[in-house]
Amino acid sequence: TACNYNADANKDDGSCLENDCADVCGGTNICGCNDATALNYDSTATFNDGSCEFDTTAPTVVITYPANNSTLDSTITVRTDVADDNISVVTFLIDGLEAYADSTAPYEYEWDVCVIGTGNHTVLVKAEDSAGNKGQSDLLTFTIDASYDCESVCGGDGEFDNCGVCD
């Protein structure tokens, strides 16, 4: 039935109008999701029809290297597997303090373990996606047994000879 229906009319003169998706008689609204933060955002929509879908899934984060409970004796690359469609940032925490933030895959951190000193230390990696969902890895523990050699190489094997020259 036309929204401007006239019961007294006896012929169709072409003036009958239908309601648009926003229930406006003769309207020209384009229905869809007009929330730019939604996964199914429609830039042409002029009326939000309630169909918006939002990302509510947290990223998954796994530290793939080095293995938990390893002993580290030189600079090492901490590697991760981060799963999500729209990662904003991946943060590497050493003993609970932010050490590095990465926004480009592959998400890795070159960890100079000599800076932190010997003993047990923890690594946790957190990820946040563009929708603000947050995920984190398991907390891994490593034993650090490393120091700089005479050439300032972490875990290096340079030693001073009898003449005091670093070889």
pLDDT at 5: 67
Which pLDDT score, from 0 to 100, does residue 21 have? 82
pLDDT at 157 (0 to 100): 79
Length of the chain in terms of residues written: 167
3-class DSSP state of 37: coil
Q: Count Cβ atoms within 10 A of the Cβ of residue 30 and give its class: 0-12 exposed, 13-18 middle, 19 or more buried.
A: middle
CA distance 51 to 33: 6
Is the backbone peptide bond immediately before 59 cis, with ω within 30 degrees of 0? Answer: no
Per-residue pLDDT at 23: 81
- What local confidence, expressed as pLDDT, does residue 1 receive? 56
Report the chain (167 residues): mean pLDDT per 10 consecutive residues: 68 74 84 90 92 93 98 95 94 98 96 91 97 96 88 81 79
Q: What is the DSSP letter of 115?
A: G
Q: The pTM is what?
A: 0.74
Please tell me the predicted confidence (pLDDT) of residue 7.
67
